[in-house]
Amino acid sequence: MAGRYDSNPFDEEDVNPFSEVKRKEDAAARAGIVLEVKNWPPFFPIIHHDIANEIPIHLQRIQYMAFSTFLGLVLCLLWNIIAVTTAWIKGEGVKIWFLSIIYFISGVPGAYVLWYRPLYRAMRKESALTFGWFFLFYMLHIGFCIFAAVAPPIIFKGKSLTGILPAIDVISGRVIVGQVYMYFRGSGKAAQLKQEAARGAMRATL
């Protein structure tokens, strides 16, 4: 019995713990089912993403642009958390921080499932129905982006989003900055600073 398994104990299919997995993979391949292996992000793969090998060449540029849009949304929502966290520390309240977290944990996977993944599959299979699904939810995505960029004072005075209106509110509340700048320019300090910078540059070149 021992001699039977000396070389490799898993050579025999009946004792190989991975034989069932291989049989399922072979059956899926025969049926034409594509098994998607998670490969992105490289350091912690959670999704399957391979534009270079799965998307037709003439559509790859569009897909890369869509992917950049998706990554831009991720970065913007992450930056929103950082900015709102700062506002919370400054005394704006914890509710806006919780809202920024909700925007991130619902917005990122929601965007991937509702419009980016359908576009990826539509580009790969050129399915008209999937394209329609993408157009529907991408319009909603654009609407959310416009709303977030403006951040009207509807929910907690719009301070759960780092938009234009909250930024104006913050800047107008810091009038001292404008007053100091106007004094700096009017007192001739700006011209003096330029002259000192020019002299410093000349000394550096010599």
Q: Domain count for the chain, please give it.
A: 1
> Which of the residue ranges 41-50, 62-71, 157-166 has the most confident prediction, judged by mean pLDDT?
62-71
Residue 145 lies in a domain: yes
pLDDT at residue 196 in the model = 72
Residue 197 lies in a domain: no
Residue 29 lies in a domain: no
Residue 178 lies in a domain: yes
Render pLDDT for 97-115 as a digit per residue (tens, 0 to 9): 999 999 999 999 999 999 9
Residue 20 lies in a domain: no
Burial 99-135 (b: 16+ CB within 10 A, else e): bbbebbeebeebbbebbbbbbbbbbbeeeeebeebbe
Residue-number span of the structural domain to which 72 is assigned: 59-183
Residue 130 lies in a domain: yes
Confidence of residue 12 (pLDDT cuts 50, 70, 90): low
DSSP 42-71: TTS--B---HHHHS-HHHHHHHHHHHHHHH
pLDDT at residue 74 in the model = 97
Render pLDDT for 21-50 as a digit per residue (tens, 0 to 9): 567 656 655 665 656 788 899 999 999 999
